A and B are shown apart, each in its own frame.
Chain A
């Protein structure tokens, strides 16, 4: 990632943050940290091409950008959607996100072995959160 100097503003759950162009919503949220970070189960920052599959990181985009402030009709995967200047994202604050993320986790658990004690991920698992 190279520094271009130009930063763009994005608002996630009413918190504003400045990031470099080309940052994903997920990584912008990680810059804020804490509660506003969506759970991400199939994205690993060091592996190119990951993300977009598990759909746990879905967020609502209430306004696309300053230039085009229309909301996006569907929830989007925050790990594979880049931020735009003036974008307004709702994660914790969105009812829709809650509902659908709950659904996704339910789907994941539907065929999940639940062998938590012997699992490498135990203790650091978004499914358990």
Chain B
């Protein structure tokens, strides 16, 4: 989906913008303009006035949580990094963004390449790395060029290379394109791929913080997590932690897509209500063409889908907020997850069975095939869903899907198995009627859509 630049003008969004404030300044992709607008201040500040541990401390204070999907506190992850003497440590930026419904990292790198590079320098300094990598999705070749140009500028200005700013700290930064597999976004598969092997996830433990790239301690962080280090160091961790609610601090980029009046990438304060995000004038401005909302997947294809009556309110009737906690309120039964912030909205004309099949097809295609439950289970689910969607299913198939799900979940090497199982389980849980309708009205289901699901009376 093309991103409409006019739709993404941060001026039209409410709240503080820590990451994409300057995205519309002409020439911001060049070092000079970026620098004139306050760029690379965090590197100056960190290298000249702070020790590496001070930087880690600020990130801890900020409460920043990984923006790649899992939401693990970044500061804590950094402090787990093993630091044996005489062994190099690596920082790898995960720019393999390929979760269906997520396109924020691409936006950030394409328009603000220096922000990521600045974040990489500051973070590498904090972790004591002298060689860091940006592992970028292979389909993003044009962004690779943008980043390499920006990196060359940073080298020329003395922000990369030997003896940065005369401090004695050395850092080399490389961009590596991936081969184009979703699984290479999983951190251990990414490391394998960086080493030049096939991107198969490793069996954990050992975790990358102890044994990662070439057997050395490694931190893997998402693009947005690394970019967020820049405002955290500039303004201090406490200032960052003031934005947001509870353990969801700071701002988050949301990739809004689907049947919205104004889809695009938004930077929001965590804690914004879902209602305002979907319908507010400063954000998505409601549904496209005045249609009704049918369902929403708030965090990318791997998180459970929510039916219309659980999108803006939790099961307990409270307002649902854009935070890690509120979106997962209700657990699997009535909640979902913030995930990577891939916010996908469906209107009344969309078919849930078709969409579930589409995701299942994706996961079955992207399964690396190492472990049996995921390899066999995902392709089995795909086949069953194909049957259902194309009017060839029977009622037993629906229970069969649930059964396959249970056998995949928790029994695999990496979370892709779970990520494939949950969306199917959630779709059946909330939209069972629609699945059954596909079986009982085979012909009709090929010509029209089911429409909105009814709210359960007990809920």
What sequence of 0s and 1s flags, for each residue 48-61 of chain A, a beta carbon within 8 Å of any chain B beta carbon? 00001111101000
Known: A107-B380, A108-B376. Is A75-B371 also a contact (CB below 8 A)? no
CB neighbours (8 Å) of B158 from chain A are: none
Within 8 Å of chain A (Cβ to Cβ): is B15? no
Within 8 Å of chain A (Cβ to Cβ): is B407? yes
CB atoms of A53 and B370 under 8 A apart: yes
CB atoms of A108 and B372 under 8 A apart: yes
User: Which of B187-195, B291-299, B410-418 lies at the interface?
Assistant: B410-418
Q: How far is the CB of A129 from chain B (nearest CB, A)?
A: 16
Name the residue on B nearest A108 (C-beta).
Answer: B372
Within 8 Å of chain B (Cβ to Cβ): is A63? no
A56 to B376, CA, bound (A): 13
User: Which of A5-13, A14-22, A98-106, A115-123 lies at the interface?
Assistant: A98-106
Known: A107-B377, A107-B380, A110-B380. Is A53-B410 also a contact (CB below 8 A)? no
A75 to B377, CA, bound (A): 17
Within 8 Å of chain A (Cβ to Cβ): is B152? no
Within 8 Å of chain A (Cβ to Cβ): is B203? yes
A93 to B411, CA, bound (A): 18
Q: How far is the CB of A102 from chain B (nearest CB, A)?
A: 8
Enumerate B79-93 residues with CB–CB distance to A below 8 Å.
none
Within 8 Å of chain A (Cβ to Cβ): is B406? yes
Within 8 Å of chain B (Cβ to Cβ): is A78? no
CB atoms of A55 and B376 under 8 A apart: no
CB atoms of B407 and A104 under 8 A apart: yes
Within 8 Å of chain B (Cβ to Cβ): is A111? yes
Q: Could you say which interface size class chain B belongs to?
A: 10 to 19
CB neighbours (8 Å) of B371 from chain A are: 52-55
Q: How far is the CB of A10 from chain B (nearest CB, A)?
A: 18
A77 to B411, CA, bound (A): 9
Q: How far is the CB of A54 from chain B (nearest CB, A)?
A: 5
Enumerate A70-100 residues with CB–CB distance to B below 8 Å.
74-75, 77, 80, 100
CB atoms of A80 and B407 under 8 A apart: no
What sequence of 0s and 1s flags, for each residue 403-446 of chain B, a beta carbon within 8 Å of any chain A beta carbon? 00011001111000000000000000000000000000000000
A52 to B374, CA, bound (A): 13
Q: Which of B203, B376, B411 contacts A58 (CB 8 A)?
A: B411
CB neighbours (8 Å) of B411 from chain A are: 55, 58, 74-75, 100, 103-104
CB atoms of B203 and A77 under 8 A apart: yes
Q: How far is the CB of B379 from chain A (nearest CB, A)?
A: 8
CB neighbours (8 Å) of A100 from chain B are: 407, 411
Q: How far is the CB of A74 from chain B (nearest CB, A)?
A: 5
CB atoms of A107 and B376 under 8 A apart: yes
Q: How far is the CB of B138 from chain A (nearest CB, A)?
A: 25
CB neighbours (8 Å) of A56 from chain B are: 372
Q: Which of A52, A75, A106, A108 contacts B413 (CB 8 A)?
A: A52
CB atoms of B373 and A103 under 8 A apart: yes
Enumerate B366-416 residues with CB–CB distance to A below 8 Å.
370-373, 375-377, 379-380, 406-407, 410-413
CB atoms of A74 and B377 under 8 A apart: no
A75 to B370, CA, bound (A): 17
A75 to B411, CA, bound (A): 7
CB atoms of B203 and A52 under 8 A apart: yes
What sequence of 0s and 1s flags, for each residue 254-275 of chain B, a beta carbon within 8 Å of any chain A beta carbon? 0000000000000000000000
CB neighbours (8 Å) of B370 from chain A are: 53
CB neighbours (8 Å) of A53 from chain B are: 370-372, 413
CB neighbours (8 Å) of A107 from chain B are: 372-373, 375-377, 380, 407
A97 to B294, CA, bound (A): 39
Name the residue on B nearest A75 (C-beta).
Answer: B411
Q: How far is the CB of B197 from chain A (nearest CB, A)?
A: 12
A37 to B372, CA, bound (A): 20
CB neighbours (8 Å) of B380 from chain A are: 107, 110
Q: How far is the CB of B235 from chain A (nearest CB, A)?
A: 38
Q: How far is the CB of B272 from chain A (nearest CB, A)?
A: 33
A53 to B411, CA, bound (A): 10
CB atoms of A74 and B410 under 8 A apart: yes
CB atoms of B203 and A104 under 8 A apart: no
CB atoms of B373 and A104 under 8 A apart: yes
A56 to B375, CA, bound (A): 14
CB neighbours (8 Å) of B413 from chain A are: 52-53
A107 to B411, CA, bound (A): 12
Q: How far is the CB of B62 from chain A (nearest CB, A)?
A: 29
Name the residue on B nearest A101 (C-beta).
Answer: B411
CB neighbours (8 Å) of B412 from chain A are: 55
CB neighbours (8 Å) of B410 from chain A are: 74-75
Between A and B, 26 residue pairs with Cβ closer than 8 Å are A52-B203, A52-B371, A53-B372, A55-B372, A55-B373, A55-B412, A58-B411, A75-B410, A75-B411, A80-B203, A100-B411, A103-B406, A103-B411, A104-B372, A104-B373, A104-B407, A104-B411, A106-B407, A107-B372, A107-B373, A107-B375, A107-B377, A107-B380, A108-B372, A108-B376, A111-B379
Given contacts A55-B411, A75-B410, A107-B375, 4 further A-B contacts (CB under 8 A): A53-B372, A74-B411, A103-B406, A104-B407
CB-CB nearest 5 A-B residue pairs: A103-B407, A107-B376, A52-B203, A74-B410, A107-B372
